[in-house]
Amino acid sequence: MEFNFDFSFNVINIVTGILAWGIIGILAYRFYNKQSVKLKGWKVIVAILVGIFSFSINWNLLETMVKIPLLPLGVWILYLVKGRKERWKYYRSFAWLGFFANFIFLVSTLIAIPVHHALYPEDELSTFISNAEKASIIHLHPSAMDRPLNKGNLLKLLKTMKPEKIYSDQWYQEMNTNFEPSKSNERFPYQLTGTSSKWGSGLDTIIYIEEDGKGVLISTPKKQHYFHSQDSILEGGK
Amino acid sequence: MIKQKFLIFVGSAVLVLSAVMIYWFYFSKPDSFPADEQLMEEINHVFPEAAVNIIQDTVSMDERHVVVPFISKEDDYGVTYWAWQKHKWQLLAIDTTGEPRLWKIDIKDPSTFYMVWNIHPGDQVDYMKFFIIRDRGYHVTEGIETYNPRVQMEKKVPLEGKSYGVLPLPDEWVSFMNPFIKVGSAQQPSLFFNDFFPEREMFFGWIPYDKLDKQRFPEGSVNGNRYFNGDVDIDFISILNEAEIESPR
């Protein structure tokens, strides 16, 4: 399961998380009803939570960390504590349910990834920039010109800008191959602020704008995205 | 029954009392800031090396954070940092010389960052330029390309005959840093090592100039001694050369 301690929230993670816990709750309730000897409710909850504790390997699937549980450490710990007692057999099913919960979380992550990709496609600029009404421009580098933001164009281009390849080393070399190192322009001297990513996507972004206003480079925690168009989102361009 | 009621009564009394105590200790309004003589006494007591002779001023950043510039007996220009914490005006740090520092009052919120200085008049600094810089860079990892544009923003600050001063980060710097910190923190894979240090990728610098727009080395404002008391984030601001600053072609 993935925790997200961030201001922007990821709706899909929250929904799948709630679903996963709901399934665990239902299973626990069924086990509980089947048993002849009733444990106290809080003991059941503790047994499940301890059972969740496991040794797992992290696997990077499509830029998302997926946890694959391997060793049921929590179950073993509970066994060490309670195993010799008569009542172990009543705890056992809940401890294993806890370990099994890891697989429920795993499946919920596997479901969340394609849903997230479908609702928040990475090849559409509007995933990263919505609420452009309060947008404004900041000069990040002295080579930035005094060209204000053309908000009308920006709103129009949100729908039409196309994703393009990032030529990171080429861009870097172009800026840095000068004989006089302190004389240099920056390819992306502006920052677009006052916007937010699409509601519920949970995406944090830094948005850079190209010097001619025709390209947008977006940094997210996972990777960068580059969009380009024929028109400029800055006023007064050629 | 009576015993139970009694316990509930005692329990709630303890709860209310501790709430009041906690409020008083951590959240109550600050007392008025101590007088100059008291400040001098406390500084010289905890850190005799400072040898305060004159308290120049008390500059408040907000009602709980104060900077006190001073001149020592050896004619050094220093700075002390104070905060209202645990129901007391605490002396957080002392710098015996006054080259600029960055005081991060709330390390997670760049709008609470202040540049603080007390430049020795003998250094003949007429104005300073402050910079925030993130180097240009690129990398390709498993076919995923990343290009980090160079960020270089500048703020010119005239001294206007006053050796000391305090300045919050310009709004544009804060507007850059906020998403920068958010994206950086979200990159951290682990739940337990969740501290992102923007300083690793980004830094603050300054260049002092004299009246003739020549870069000067502020001899009398560097190489001081520091005193630290507890948990406070006051960062170094490095002196830059003009060769490290980019200008448009």
> Which chain B residue has the Cα nearest residue A219?
B183
Nearest CA to A119 among A4, A47, A203?
A: A203
- In this structure, the dihedral spanned by the alpha carbons of residues A51, A55, A59 and A60, taken in order and rounded to 10 degrees, is 80
Q: pLDDT at position A119, please?
A: 92
The parts of chain A modelled with pLDDT lower than 50 are: 1-7
Burial class (CB in 10 A: 0-12, 13-18, 19+), B49: middle
Q: Does residue B4 fall inside a structural domain?
A: no
Q: For B211-226, what is the mean pLDDT?
A: 92
**Which tokens sit at A238?**
């050629």
Predicted confidence (pLDDT) at residue B245 exceeds the cutoff of 50: yes
Nearest CA to A227 among A92, A127, A135, A147?
A: A127
Question: Rg of the Cα trace of chain B?
Answer: 23
Q: pLDDT at position B52, please?
A: 93
Q: For B130-154, what is the mean pLDDT?
A: 92
Q: pLDDT at position B196, please?
A: 60
How close B175 gets to chain A, by Cα (Å)? 7
Predicted confidence (pLDDT) at residue B194 exceeds the cutoff of 80: no
Q: pLDDT at position B195, please?
A: 57
Phi, psi at residue A66, to the nearest 5°? -115, 135
**C-alpha distances out from residue B19 to A82, B10, B13, B64, B87, Å:** 39, 14, 10, 21, 15
Q: For B235-247, what is the mean pLDDT?
A: 91
Which of A142, A187, A220 minimises the CB distance to B183?
Answer: A220
Return the residue in B135, B144, B147 with the most chain A beta carbons within 10 A, the one to mutate for interface testing.
B147
B2 part of contact set with chain A, CB < 8 Å: no
How close A184 gets to chain B, by Cα (Å)? 5
Return the residue in A62, A204, A211, A227 with the most chain B beta carbons within 10 A, the one to mutate for interface testing.
A204
Provide the residue count of chain B.
249
How far apart, in whole angstroms, are the C-alpha atoms of residue A228 and residue A45?
53
How close B4 gets to chain A, by Cα (Å)? 24
How close B150 gets to chain A, by Cα (Å)? 7
Q: Does residue B91 fall inside a structural domain?
A: yes
**Which residues on B lie below 8 Å from A135 (Cβ)?**
none
User: Which has more confidence, A92 or B169?
Assistant: B169
Contact yes or no for A138 and B172 at CB 8 A: yes
Element (H, E) at A206: strand A206-209
Predicted confidence (pLDDT) at residue B25 exceeds the cutoff of 90: no
Average pLDDT, chain B: 90
How far apart, in whole angstroms, are the C-alpha atoms of residue B178 and residue A193?
10
Q: pLDDT at position A177, please?
A: 66
A134 part of contact set with chain B, CB < 8 Å: no
Q: For B221-242, what is the mean pLDDT?
A: 90
Contact yes or no for B139 and A187 at CB 8 A: no
Domain interval for residue B63: 16-244
**Which residues on B lie below 8 Å from A218 (Cβ)?**
none
Q: pLDDT at position B239, please?
A: 95
Look-up of token digits 């394609």 = A114
Q: For B155-180, what is the mean pLDDT?
A: 94
Q: For B11-24, what is the mean pLDDT?
A: 90
Contact yes or no for B176 and A138 at CB 8 A: yes
Contact yes or no for A168 and B147 at CB 8 A: yes
> Which chain A residue has the Cα nearest residue B184?
A221
Are residues B144 and B152 in contact, defined by beta-carbon separation less than 8 angstroms? no
CA–chain centroid gap for A92, Å, is 35
Predicted confidence (pLDDT) at residue B20 exceeds the cutoff of 60: yes
Mind giving me the DSSP string for chain B? Answer: -HHHHHHHHHHHHHHHHHHHHHIIIIISPPPPPPPHHHHHHHHHHH-GGG-EEEE---EEEETTEEEEEEEETTS-EEEEEEEEETTEEEEEEEESSEEEEEEESSTT-GGGEEEEEE--GGG---EEEEEEEE--EEEEETTEEEEE--EEEEEEEE-TT-SEEEEEPPHHHHHHHHHHHHHHHHH---SS-----GGGT-EEEEEEE-TTS-B---GGGSS--EEE-SS-EEEE-EE--GGGS-B--
Look-up of token digits 């349910």 = A97
Are residues A169 and A176 in contact, defined by beta-carbon separation less than 8 angstroms? no
CB-based burial, A134-166: b 16+ in 10 Å, e otherwise: ebebbbbbbbbeebebbeebbeebbeebeeeeb
> How many C-beta atoms surround the C-beta of residue A92 within 10 A?
17
**Which residues on A lie below 8 Å from B146 (Cβ)?**
166, 168, 219, 223-224
Contact yes or no for A217 and B249 at CB 8 A: no
**Which tokens sit at A176?**
């840095």
Look-up of token digits 């939570």 = A49
Q: pLDDT at position A237, please?
A: 59
Report DSSP state, residue A6.
S
How far apart, in whole angstroms, are the C-alpha atoms of residue A102 and residue B179?
33
Sign of the Cα pseudo-torsion (B11, B13, B16, B18, in order): negative
Give the contacts of B27 (CB within 8 A, at least 6 positions apart): none
Q: How many domains does chain B have?
A: 1
Nearest CA to B153 among B129, B136, B181?
A: B129
How far apart, in whole angstroms, are the C-alpha atoms of residue B247 and residue B132?
14
Are residues A135 and A151 in contact, defined by beta-carbon separation less than 8 angstroms? yes
Q: Does residue B1 fall inside a structural domain?
A: no
**Which tokens sit at A145?**
């010109």
**Which tokens sit at A116?**
């997230």
Q: Does residue B11 fall inside a structural domain?
A: no
**Which residues on A lie below 8 Å from B136 (Cβ)?**
172, 175-176, 186
